[in-house]
Amino acid sequence: MKEIVKQKKEKAVEDESDSDNLAFYSSSSSEITDIEEEIEKKREEEDFVISMINVNDYVLVRFVTKKTERHYVGKILGKVEGGEYLINFVRRKKSGYHFVFPDVEDQSMVSEDDIRKLPPPSFVGETARSKRKLVFSINFDKHNVN
């Protein structure tokens, strides 16, 4: 005889006090996570990070085309009026997520809305040439980084 196994499913339930706030819970757990609070917390963190961007910081820049969204890594050279930054971009090496500054500088003006601050990189390598490689302590897999 076959044994019937029941699986527990996650359910979405409307919060009784406000129909705009959704709360998710698992039938096997009584913990409730308020999604609106999580989203607001993320927004506050992002606003804090944007306000802390300074000259010489490394940033992840978002460029949106008609069909795709690409990200590039660069270094802030200066801030101009109107919430734009002058950025010197680095090139990603083919193997992994190592970055180097190109021989010919690649600079562009970018809106504050399209940048996110990165942690300071570490320089890797044993020779003068290989010490130009920058490595960041974050995972770029979620982004289309060039």
Q: For 70-103, what is each residue's pLDDT tens digit?
A: 899 999 999 888 889 999 999 888 777 788 888 8
Q: Which of 82, 138, 90 is nearest to 110 (CA)?
A: 82
The mean of the pLDDT values for the chain is: 73
Amino acid found at 67: K
Amino acid found at 100: V
* pLDDT average, residue stretch 57-76: 90
Sheet of strand 22-26, all strands in order from the earlier edge strand to the far edge: 10-14, 22-26, 33-34
b/e string for 81-116 if b means 16 or more Cβ within 10 A?
A: eeebbbbebbebeeeeebbebeeeeeeeebeeebbe
Could you tell me the two tokens for 19?
Answer: 């129909």
Instruction: Please state whether beta strands 98-100 and 10-14 pair in parallel, antiparallel, or not at all (unpaired).
Output: unpaired
Place of tokens 């409730």: 32
- What is the structure's pLDDT at 29? 40
Alpha-carbon distance 90 to 133, whole Å?
10
Residues 3-23: tens digit of each pLDDT:
565 555 555 544 444 444 444
- What is the structure's pLDDT at 32? 47
Alpha-carbon distance 98 to 96, whole Å?
6
